[in-house]
Amino acid sequence: MLVILFLLGTQSAFFGPAKYSLIPQHLKNDELLAGNAQISMGTFGSILLGTLIGGWMVTLENGIAILSGLIIFVSVVGWLTSREIPEAPSENPGQKLRLNPFTETAGNFRMARENPTVFYCIMAISWFWLYGGCFLTQVPNFTVTILNGHPRLISILLGAFIVGVAIGSLLCNRLSRGAIEPGIVPLGALGLSVFAFDLSFTSIAYQQAHMSLSGVMPGQFLSLSGGIHILIDLIMIGMFGGFFIVPLNSMVQQRTAGSHRARILSVNAIVNAGFMVGGSLLGMFFLSFLGWSIMEFFITVAIMNIIVVGVIFIRVPEFFSSFVLWSSSRFKFLSHR
């Protein structure tokens, strides 16, 4: 099992940078955001579909065997589909491959730091994965201990977040009118914290109002006071996450030279993975070592989000100045309709 998980991670290490570095070779600059939005929507939609199908299949008789066959089938379909991708010749054919991963990674990291905007975009993207990981890894525990929910409710709440990211990814293209708009990133960051606070306080009120219940099923949960509110909060956190992540990915692609774009995106993937692990360790520290409640942890992460993105926006003033220009232009547009 550990070997299989390791190999899946290895596949992702190749797949992610290759996928995102190909996009600018096939799309124009004014198409990049829409392309990233569609990939983000497809990715999170597939995650949701896989989670639901996998969770259902393992409960069936011979479910593991059926699920294994389905995974192989989907893999073959993916391979066949990938063969239809138009050719994209290397933009740096003279690049030599060094077999020492540590030396290569260090060199790529130094290269990423040469462009402060790209580097801090990578930090912001990685922070989003840490932020999302802090919430998603606690959803099962949150569902059972705070919401007094049945395990079936876990999939509904996870699905709400993922659907939100997909919606946000698509709306991002509409809000920016197809352009890569850094000004949407602060809006996304603000929404991540605002709705995390709202989720925390709404969940506290829900727990106090329904503490006598147990094993709450999805239908019952939605009929209880606060149930729909919590679901909407999760959707909104996901949606603003889409506003946050899609422009950042597009900026990294657009502002990196094609000759070393894949190398910079590999740095992004490595830092993303490190931050994801950091999110798990952060949860262990606050919940297990300090003994905090899940709600206290969520509120702390929301505060940390304000601090971290605030530092990034100070380092790259373009985000805030673009936000002011974008929001004022949108306000003028709406006021003249």
Ordered DSSP codes for 128-150: HHHHHHHHHTTHHHIIIIIS-B-
How far is the C-alpha of 51 from the C-alpha of 159, rounded, in Å? 9
Residues 139-159: pLDDT tens digits? Answer: 889 999 999 998 889 888 988
Please list the residues that pair with 149 across neighbouring strands. Answer: 216
291 with 158: CB under 8 angstroms? Answer: no
Cβ atoms within 10 Å, residue 18: 14
Q: Which domain holds residue 285?
A: 18-42+111-330
% of the chain surpassing 90 pLDDT:
33
Cβ atoms within 10 Å, residue 254: 15
Domain-located, residue 143? yes
308 with 127: CB under 8 angstroms? Answer: yes
- The torsion defined by the Cα of 205, 211, 213 and 214, in degrees rounded to 10, comes to 100
Domain-located, residue 51? no
Rounded (10°) angle between helices 184-209 and 227-254: 160
Domain-located, residue 319? yes
Q: Is the dihedral of CA 90, 94, 95, 97 positive or negative?
A: positive
Q: What pTM does this model have?
A: 0.87
Domain-located, residue 142? yes
Number of domain units in the chain: 1
Domain-located, residue 61? no
pLDDT score for 127: 95
Domain-located, residue 116? yes
Domain-located, residue 100? no
Residues 180-200: pLDDT tens digits? Answer: 888 899 999 999 999 999 999
* Alpha carbon distances (Å) from 23 to 81, 93, 164: 16, 18, 24
Residues 14-56: pLDDT tens digits? Answer: 777 777 777 777 777 777 878 878 888 887 778 778 877 877 7
Domain-located, residue 293? yes
- Among 91-100, 298-307, 323-332, the range with the most confident prediction by mean pLDDT is 298-307
- Token pair for residue 105? 């990674």
CATH (domain of 230): 1.20.1250
Res 60 pLDDT > 70: yes
